[in-house]
Structure 1
Amino acid sequence: MKKLWILVAFVAFTLFLAACGSDNNEETTGNDGSEDTSEEQNNESSEDSSNDSEENSSYVVEHAMGETEIEGQPEDIVILTNHGTEALLSLGITPVGAVQSWTGDPWYDHIEDDMEGVNVVGLENDISLESIAELDPDLIIGNKMRQEDQYEQLSAIAPTVFEETLRGDWKVNFELIAEAVGMPEKGQEVLDEYNNRVDQLASDLEENGKLDTKVSIVRFMAGDVRIYHKDSFSGIILEEIGLERPEAQDKDDFAAKNVTKERIDEMDGDVIFYFTYETGDGEASTVEEEWINDPLWNNLSAVEAGNVHEVSDTIWNTAGGVRAANLMLDDLEQYLLNSDS
């Protein structure tokens, strides 16, 4: 009997050890008996971490006021320049807030349809910090020449990126805006499309013997008449195409301002494009009528030949963005290729 009890005890102990081994094995396998899932759990954790990293990724943009770190993909963007509004629209972005167009109620005609629901935050030279703050933006894009004094206050509202300057070369500011919103590749696509149009127009003009056309640009304003040179929005586009300028306008600066009729001969060329900045009070239109009805104007060779065209001030000068640039190409194609100019 004693041996029998010893045998029973030994068997019981063996079964106990086997049970313990089974419990330990279950701790390292799935409840369904599958193999160790710790590696899968680690992979899932790694994937989750990767996704979080993408959502929380940041990038640094160098700009006129220094460097700005931007977290994630900005969605609610406030833009403080008119050309900047066009840049965002061309990238497929509708801003949450934008400065009012220089003319229009409140937007230029050529962007009005795409600006429904966008909040006005003042003018380029008179922004409303309160209106901007109320929108709680993810990103603010402005311009040093326009809003330098408000930069610190804007930066306290949201990450803020500033362009250095205005004037002719709109592409420089466009590239900065595309970088600021995290879409440099899309921005390059937009520029490539524009550049291809420029190249095609240049080729068509050359084929038709019109690439050497000397193009004059004149602007009428209330109290000011200007002749635009090469470092202007329209001047740079003409130079990109390869069109020539009259000798008096073949200068690398912005414009001749406050031009008097004693200098009216500087307005002549093979073709004259003129535009008028009218704000609604009729004063600029009065200046325009005075000049184009003057005998001195009508004695210009381009006028005598019928090669004078009134074009949009918004498109040729004021808007200063990528959409306006493309619309200016439309005008040049129409008047230089599809007319007798």
Structure 2
Amino acid sequence: MLLRPLAVLAALSTSLLLILPLEAREVNHAMGVTEVPDNPQRIVMLTNEGTEALLYLGVVPVGAVQSWDGNPWYDHIATALADTVPLGTELAVNLEILATLEPDLILGTKVRQEAIYPQLSAIAPTVMTETIGGEWQENLQFYADAIGKSEAGKAAVDGFVARTGTIHDALSDAVNERISLVRFSPNRTRIYYKQTFAGLALQQIGLQRPASQDKDDFAQEVTKERIPEMDGDRIFYFSSDLNGDESAANLNDWLNDPLWLNLEGVKAGKAQRVSEIIWNTAGGIYAAHLMLDELEAIYGLASSR
């Protein structure tokens, strides 16, 4: 175990000085090796999924990047983050405000914050995951290890895996349905494959994907000519409301296209809009369980919570 002297305390009745060491350890991460305190008290989190991970582990960050939707947090975590300072977005972290929080550990991700890693490391020990998204369970364990809560992290991940197994069994023959995932946006419409937040959850449950979507990739932007590739026994689609009327008009345009209306899943009444935040943007363990809640409701299953 590595020791790092952090403070010098005055003796109560003498002028002698006592060096008080704080236990620390080396953490291997996407940007190298960093020595971090064993029991960090002031943690800053720079990913949305990581904020959910910390909260699930019973830790409230002193600062965190704001949610992609919400002011500044997603509704499902807003109460827990009442005292947390927002630090901009994953792609634009406010370093000045971050520094004033005097953190003893910063957690982030290389895919978002590689360029500012030197500045972050100058403020406090900083460790990073390689990327975010479908890897949220591995990342949760990484964050748990970094803050000295490895067993709690394992319990959280094991609990989610166990719940997907329970849902698999409850679905019975319906588990063989081929599930299509589509995101509609004014900027780009994409078919989501298996290496996505929702795609990996469906895979863990054991639900199938149409042949055209049975790919270990993230997603692909498509034009209307490729609407037939969106078909499935069930079609789950999501669309952000952030652009207001523009998003609504775009979604209405796609959903009224003759090719969409001719899909077997649509004609069977099994095309359903689901939450963009829960199925896509939030990306953390609370969102993952809320997604399973939504799936259970759609299939008419008893809650496995």
TM-score, normalisation: structure 1: 0.81
* Aligned equivalent of 2:122: 156
Which blocks of at least 5 consecutive residues in structure 2 are unaligned? 1-17
What SS does the corresponding residue of 1:320 show, helix, strand or coil? coil
2:59 to 82, 93, 107: 93
2:225 is equivalent to residue 226 of structure 1: no
The match for 1:167 among 128, 133, 152 is 133
Aligned CA distance change for structure 1 residues 190 and 55 (closer, same or farther; 3 Å): farther
Classify the secondary structure of the residue corresponding to 1:141.
Answer: strand
In the alignment, residue 282 of structure 1 is paired with which amino acid? D
SS in structure 1 at match of 2:175: coil
Provide the rounded CA distance (Å) in 1 between the counterparts of 2:20 and 2:234.
54
Structure 2 counterpart of 1:333, from 291, 296, 299: 296
1:274 aligned to 2:237? yes
Where does 1:1-341 land on structure 2 (aligned, <5 Å)?
56-206=22-172, 209-257=173-221, 259-338=222-301
Q: Which amino acid aligns with 1:148?
A: E
**1:56 offset after TM fit, Å?**
2.1
Return the index of the structure with the highest Cα Rg: 1
Counterpart Cα distance in 2 of 1:336 and 1:197: 15
On the 8 A contact 2:179/2:207 being kept in 1, the answer is: yes
- 2:46 maps to amino acid: L
Aligned-partner Cα distance in 2 for 1:205–1:320: 24
What secondary structure is seen at the aligned counterpart in 2 of 1:56?
strand
Q: Aligned partners of 1:62 and 1:278: how far apart in 2?
A: 39
Quickly say closer, same or farther: Cα 1:135–1:218, change in 2 above 3 A.
Answer: same
Q: 2: CA distance between counterparts of 1:54 and 1:135?
A: 23
1:310/1:58 Cα in 2 relative to 1: closer, same or farther (>3 Å)? same
- Tell me: CA distance 1:98–1:295, structure 2 relative to 1, closer, same or farther (3 Å): same
CA distance in 2, matches of 1:179, 1:62: 11
User: Which 4+ residue blocks in structure 1 deviate beyond 6 angstroms?
Assistant: 52-55
- Match of 1:315, SS state, is helix
Shift of 1:71: 2.2
User: Which protein is richer in helix relative to its size?
Assistant: 1
| Structure 1 residue 57: Cα displacement | 1.7
Amino acid at match of 1:234: A
Q: Is the 8 A contact 2:181 2:192 kept in 1?
A: yes
Secondary structure of the residue aligned to 1:114 is: coil
CA drift of 1:309 comes to: 1.2
Q: Is the CA contact 1:221–1:278 (under 8 Å) kept in the aligned structure 2?
A: no
Residue ranges of structure 1 left out of the alignment (5+ in a row): 1-51
Q: Percent identity?
A: 49
CA shift at 1:271, angstroms? 0.5
Name the aligned partner's letter for residue 285 of structure 1. A
Output the CA distance in 1 between the equivalents of 2:185 and 2:297: 25
1:170, distance to aligned residue in structure 2 (A) = 1.1
2:3: which partner in 1? none
Q: Deviations over 1:109-134 (max 9, x none)?
A: 11111110110111000001101000
Q: Secondary structure at the match of 1:296?
A: helix
Contact 2:170–2:301 (Cα < 8 Å) also in 1: no
- Hey, what's the Cα distance between the residues in 2 that align with 1:61 and 1:147? 18
Conserved? CA contact 2:179–2:236, under 8 Å? yes
Question: Residue 224 of structure 1: SS of its match in structure 2?
Answer: coil
Residues 190, 54 of structure 1: alpha-carbon distance in 2 compared, 3 angstrom cutoff: farther
Give the aligned length. Answer: 285
2:38–2:147 CA contact under 8 A, matched in 1: no
Decide whether the 8 Å contact of 1:87 with 1:177 is kept in 2: yes
Alignment-mate amino acid for residue 169 of structure 1? E
